[in-house]
Amino acid sequence: MPPFVASRDRNLTHPSKSTAVIVRFGLRMAAVGAFAVFGGIGFQRGLTVMLWMSTILGAVVALFDGEEPLASGLNHWDEAMAYAALCCLACAFEPPI
């Protein structure tokens, strides 16, 4: 890695990494819910859009960090898949137009 790039390597164990991912997921879900409540397009649509954006953000961060999709501990890929699953669930209950 070039010397001018900050290294994000941390000496965390798998349980502590997984705990950090779970805490990050919970905090981000609280923020997504708050933005969906106060958004001007309605809660259902706002939640769907925010979950879709969170899915894309999680995948992009996982690509930049070079994380493996099927790693033994939780990582950004698992978080992105959780957002995608919740987005699909929100879309399933959306009333037809």
For the stretch 30-43, pLDDT in tens is 999 999 999 888 88
Give the mean pLDDT of 13-32. 87
Q: What is the pTM of this model?
A: 0.79
User: For residue 6, is pLDDT > 60?
Assistant: no
Angle 69-74-76 from CA coordinates, rounded to 5°: 60
Taking the domains of the chain in order of start, what are their residue ranges? 27-92
- Average model confidence (pLDDT) across the chain: 85
Closest CA to 87 of 54, 58, 59, 52: 52
Tokens read off for 88: 């699909």
